[in-house]
């Protein structure tokens, strides 16, 4: 059976794969996901949400496994690059290593952050 369009919503951990199947039946969950994504003849849409019922949600591991998503790393950013922080606005990266990032914001205020916290929570974006 094939469809022109396939839309799979809620591609989030604990949903796909289902929380009660994550340990014992993970291969069956993976197989079902594969069956779903291979039923399209034209268009495939995979949707995941960042929050559900006031709770932070992670994308499904299957999205990473198939290469649709990849984990952001400090290597994606460089000193001197312009970024926008979700709360502090525009700034420039003045220091960066695997654990820490320092950003100089518009009013010359320097702030240090745990770089992985910023990246995992989409708190900074490149300009």
Q: What does the pLDDT look like over 19-30, one tens digit per residue?
A: 988 788 999 999
Burial zone of 115 (CB within 10 Å; 0-12 exposed, 13-18 middle, 19+ buried): buried
Which pLDDT score is estimated for 56?
86
The pTM score is 0.66
Phi and psi at residue 101, in whole multiples of 5°?
-135, 140
pLDDT averaged over every residue in the chain: 94
Q: Residues 57, 63, 97, CA angle at the centre, nearest 5°?
A: 75
Fold topology of 74-126: SH3 type barrels. (2.30.30)
Statement: residue 84 has pLDDT above 90:
yes
Assess whether pLDDT exceeds 90 at residue 63: yes
**What does the pLDDT read at residue 71?**
84
The confidence score (pLDDT) of residue 23 equals 82
Instruction: Tell me the domain boundaries of the chain.
Output: 3-65, 74-126
pLDDT-derived band at 4, boundaries 50, 70, 90: very high
- CATH numeric code, 3-65: 3.30.160.800
């Amino acid at each position: 059976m094939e469809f022109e369009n396939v839309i799979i919503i809620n591609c989030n951990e604990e949903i796909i794969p289902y929380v009660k199947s994550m340990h014992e039946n993970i291969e069956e969950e993976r197989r079902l996901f594969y069956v779903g994504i291979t039923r399209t003849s034209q268009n495939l849409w995979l949707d995941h949400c960042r929050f559900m019922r006031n709770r932070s949600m992670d994308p499904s591991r299957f999205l990473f496994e198939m290469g649709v998503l990849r984990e952001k790393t400090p290597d994606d950013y460089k000193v001197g690059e312009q970024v926008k922080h979700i709360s502090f606005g525009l700034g420039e990266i003045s220091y960066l290593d695997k654990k820490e990032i320092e950003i100089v914001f518009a009013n010359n205020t320097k702030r240090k952050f745990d770089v992985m916290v910023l990246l995992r929570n989409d708190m900074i974006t490149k300009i």
